[in-house]
Amino acid sequence: MESNRTASKEDEHGSAVQSVEHHPMIKFIELQDKQNDVTEVQIPVPYGNIAGKWFGPKDIRPILCLHGWLDNSGTFDRLIPLLPENVSFLAIDLPGHGYSSRIPNGMAYYQTDCIPLILHIMREYGWSKVSLMGHSMGAIICFIFTALFPEKVDLLIGLDALKPLSYQPERFPQRTSKMVQKFILADIRNQERSEPPSYTYEEMVDRLYEGTAASVSRETCPYLLQRNIKPSRKFPGKYFFDRDNRMKYNVIPGWADSINVELAKRISAPFLTVKAVDSPYAGSKEGFEQTVAVLKESNPKYEVVFVKGSHHVHLTEPENVVPVIVDFLRKHWHKEQDIVSKL
C-alpha cells in the first residue's frame, strides 16, 4: 500500500531530499524515535502525501494528533512517549508543514480544508470513528470537525485552544484583504523556487525561540526544527525554513462566537480542554468562558483543566500535562483493532 513507504521530504520540484544534515541533536531525536517505537508513515492524497509519526502498537486504531500553526508532528515528541504504552498515536504533518506535501501553486491554505483531510485519513485506514488530540490550530480544527461530525468522534483532547477565533466585524474585511495580498507575494516566491535566507543551526534555534515569544524553549526547539528545515545548497553548514510560507497567511475561520456556541452544543463525545495558565486566550477570555459554559451544560463528559506553562507546555513541560491526559484516557479511551493496517 502507498501508506507503507518511509516518509521523506520533497523539494520545490517534488524530488525527495533529506530534511537536515545529521546535527547531534537531530541524531538524538532519531534515536529517541527508535527507542519509542515510532514509525514514519505517508498517507497518499491527491496533491502528494501526508507524512506522520505512528507511536505505539500498530494493530489498533490510534489517536490522530494535529499540531499547531507553523509547527509539525514533532510538537508531540516529548508528550506521547509519556502517555500509556498500550495506546497508539498518529501525529501527522498538516499540508505545507513538516514532511507533508504542499498544496498546488496558486492555492491558499484554509483551516477548514483539514476537515475533509481527517475524513480522507479515516477512509484510508478504514476507521468508522476517530479519536482526536490537537494543539492550538490543531485543537481548533478538531473542535470544528467534532461539531460537524459528532457521530464520528469518540473522544477529543484540545491543548491550549478550544474554538475558532472571533473577530470584530468591522476589522474583518481589512484584515482579510491584507492577508490575501501577502499570500500572493508568498505564492510568487514559491513559484520562483529561490532559496530562502539561511542560518546556522544555532541561529535557527534562536529564530524559532524568538518567533514563538519563548513559548518553545531553546532546549525543545530541535523537536520542531527537525521536520521544518533543510540544508542550504548555497551555504554549507547553514539551513533554511522549508515550510510553505503561504501558511503564514492561511485563512483562519473568523466567524462570531455565537457560531462557536452552536458548534459546541453539537459535541457529545468525551472532551478535554487543557489550558496553559501562562498563555493568552485565542480570541478573548470572554469567548473562551462562554464556550466552556455551553460545553459544560450540554456535555456531561466535558472537562477543562488549567495547568502551569506556556502555549507549548505539552512540548516544553509535558510532565504538567501528562497526568491530566492519562486520567482522561483511563476514563474514556477504549481499544479498537485497526481495520486496515497500513504499516
Q: 216-266 pLDDT, tens per residue?
A: 999 999 999 999 999 999 999 999 999 999 999 876 656 788 899 999 999
Cβ contact 256:136 at 8 Å: no
Domains, the chain: 24-167+252-332 (3.40.50.1820)
Task: Give the chain's end-to-end CA distance (angstroms, integer).
Answer: 9
Average pLDDT for 95-100: 96
Within a 10 A sphere around the Cβ of 257, how many other Cβ atoms?
20
17: confidence class by pLDDT, cuts 50, 70, 90: very low
pLDDT digits (tens, 9 = 90+) for 263-305: 999 999 999 999 999 999 987 899 899 999 999 999 999 999 9
Average pLDDT for 134-144: 97
Distance CA 243, CA 246 (A): 9
* Cell numbers for 186: 508568498
Secondary structure (DSSP) of 302-314: EEEEEESS-TTHH
Average pLDDT for 206-213: 96
pLDDT at 15 over 60: no
Residue 136 designated active-site:
yes
Distance CA 173, CA 175 (A): 6
Q: Write down the mean pLDDT value for the chain.
A: 90
Which is the catalytic residue, given 136, 166, 215, 310?
136
Distance CA 11, CA 4 (A): 21
342: confidence class by pLDDT, cuts 50, 70, 90: low
